Structure 1
Amino acid sequence: MQSLNISTSALRGIQLALDNSANNMSNLDTVGYKRRVASFSELLADSMNEQPSTDRENRNSPVGIRIGSGAKLGMTKLDMGQGSMKPTDVPTDLMIQGEGYFRVGSQETDANGARVEEMRFTRDGNFHLEESAYFGGFILVSSTGHVLLNESDNPLVLPTDEVRELVISEDGYVSVNGEPTFERVGIWKVHNPDSMRQVGKNLWGLSELAYDDPATFNPDDYYELAWTNNLASVRQGALEGSNVNLQEEMSQLINIQRAYQLNSRAIGITDQMMGIATSIRSR
């Protein structure tokens, strides 16, 4: 029976690893996508110490026989490696070189119909200009409809009636029509990217634990400006491609298929052995 438990738990973990690889490959062309790497961990093991005699004197390993319970998918770690650069020559397209995320916000409606502010992180720099009477100028809006925020965590507003020329320097400062606006693109470094949760549309949010007690929530505990320690720079007129390596994912997919076949065969052989034992006992 133990072999059935080991193979069954392995199949569950392998299925999750397959889903992870499939998700990576499906986002091969997603702007700013970061792949996840599956890692396995060992389940609890039993130790049989009631042996009639020691099999070897002066052994280095503990006395007894360890009986494992299989493995499970321990975690899927976020790979923050830099993606390839895709030049577009579009002034509103921005690419982060180095660590950090853009911070975007929007007004959303909660279950009670009240308007709440939603703040998200993203590496997708595919923005476009929209004129906003509410903000009193032009704003940079993402493909998901979120507004790009500045380094003060407020919407980045270009106070002008017309945008003929938009220039964003490597350190994030914005100039419009040859005049500085004193606005700076906010790029934020998250202290622990693995603690973030995916919320869809290539957006990330802080873990729900961060908002358990709003009274004690301190943003500095979770993220800081990447400009502070020169951790990032901005490239205008380019987008960051996905950091998924198709060859590596295909190789991983083959390994997953082989592992699935091995454990499926182990279950089949165990079933045959149990059938033989049952037939002998019934005679």
Structure 2
Amino acid sequence: MNRIMNTASNTLGQIQKKIDVIGNNIANVNTTGFKKRDAKFTDLLVQQLNNQPNASMEVGRLTPNGIRSGTGAKLAQVQIMMAQGSLKTTDRELDVAFTKEGQYFRVYDAKTEDIMYTRDGTFYLSPLSETEMMLVTGAGNPVLNENNQPIFLQGETKEIQIDKNGHVLVIKADGSVAQNVNLGVTRIDKPQFLEQKGGNLLGFPINADEQSRGAAVTNMNADSPGEIAIQQRALEQSNVDLAKEMTDLMNAQRSYQFQARSMSIADQMMGLINGMR
């Protein structure tokens, strides 16, 4: 009975983590540029019990000999699903969306004093003086250029154009181009090296070394045609499928109830055994 209770209790905690992941996906179904997480499970240690030492007695058996008794399951990895979300037209000139998977804007996070990555292209202009403004995210984090420096816009502007390669063109009232800067865009090749930092941002763990950083991300060149794919006046929606998440949530809850029921039955059986005279 103790084995049953141990197996069920081990699995209960892991299923709860899966429910937490699904709940986070559902909570961010309307978050711009959010990428869903998918929980992957694996078996814990399995014990082989050879209950039939005489192999001649198992002639014709189709399954492996012996009995395999597991000790539950564990959450092996929470993977970021990089699938492209649908695009929503906003007709706002500072709204931009990627049209390719795996590409992220680079922003500076003042809290961690490090470079972060986001798919949320809802940008704003933060005034620094009467003639200077800085391009920031909705949370106020500076948007970085290709040299990882904040993007400053000078003087009065009539229009801001952002082309598909990430060039930011500042148009003056007479139609001339006052500035031409490039957005800092990174392609994330191995998202499992990154972690969620809050505020729809991805970043490296504190103990990440330079080798893992280099393997995970690649800075893209705005002057190389076809590398970067951006659409202005649009935003990318999250790639969360609400119907699928609700189905996964119900399955996880049933699994949780099954494990809890197993513990309850094992406890009742132990009570019956202890009550025997």
Same-fold call, TM cutoff 0.5: yes
- Post-superposition Cα deviations, 1:32-86, rounded to whole Å, max 9, x if no partner, equal 1111011111000111235353341376765432111111111111111111112
* Residue pair 2:190, 2:215 contacting (<8 A) in 1 also: no
* Pairing of 1:154-193 with structure 2 (within 5 A): 154-158=149-153, 160-177=154-171, 178-179=176-177, 181-193=179-191
- Of 120, 143, 147, 1:124 maps to 120
What is the alpha-carbon distance in structure 2 between the residues aligned to residue 132 and residue 249 of structure 1? Answer: 43
Check whether the contact 1:150–1:156 (CA below 8 A) recurs between aligned residues.
Answer: yes
What per-residue deviation string (whole Å, max 9, x for no partner) do you get for residues 145-196 of structure 1? Answer: 11111112112222x3112111111011121114163311111012211111
| Aligned pairs for 1:1-283 within 5 A | 1-49=2-50, 51-54=52-55, 55-57=57-59, 63-98=65-100, 99-108=102-111, 117-133=113-129, 137-158=132-153, 160-177=154-171, 178-179=176-177, 181-211=179-209, 220-227=214-221, 230-280=226-276, 283=277
Change in 2 beyond 3 A, CA 1:175/1:231: closer
How far apart, in 2, do the equivalents of 1:262 and 1:148 lie? Answer: 48
Residue 208 of structure 2: SS of its match in structure 1?
A: helix
Closer, same or farther: CA 62–218 of 1 in aligned 2, 3 Å: closer
Say whether the 8 Å CA contact 1:50–1:64 is kept in structure 2: yes
Cα distance in structure 2, aligned partners of 1:13 and 1:165: 52
TM-score (norm 2): 0.88
**Aligned residues of 1:106 and 1:145 also touching (Cα < 8 A):** no
* C-alpha RMSD over aligned residues: 2.4
Q: Hey, what's the Cα distance between the residues in 2 that align with 1:219 and 1:70?
A: 34
Partner deviation per Cα, 1:228-253 (whole Å, 9 max, x = no partner): 68453111111111111110011011
Deviations 1:96-137 (A, max 9, x none): 1112110011444xxxxxxx8432111111111123359x83
Q: Distance in 2 between matches of 1:81 and 1:226?
A: 19
Q: In the alignment, is the contact (CA less than 8 A) between 1:157 and 1:183 conserved in 2? A: no
- Give the TM-score normalised by the residue count of structure 1: 0.86
Unaligned runs of 5+ in 2: none
1:263 CA displacement: 1.2
Q: Residues 275, 218 of structure 1: CA spacing in aligned structure 2 closer, same or farther, 3 A cutoff?
A: closer
Residue identity (%): 35
8 Å Cα contact 1:92-1:140 kept in structure 2? no
Give the CA deviation at 1:219.
5.3
CA distance, structure 1, for counterparts of residue 211 and residue 39 of structure 2: 31
Code of the residue aligned with 2:50 in structure 1: it is N
Equivalent pairs, count = 268
Residue aligned with 1:251, SS = helix
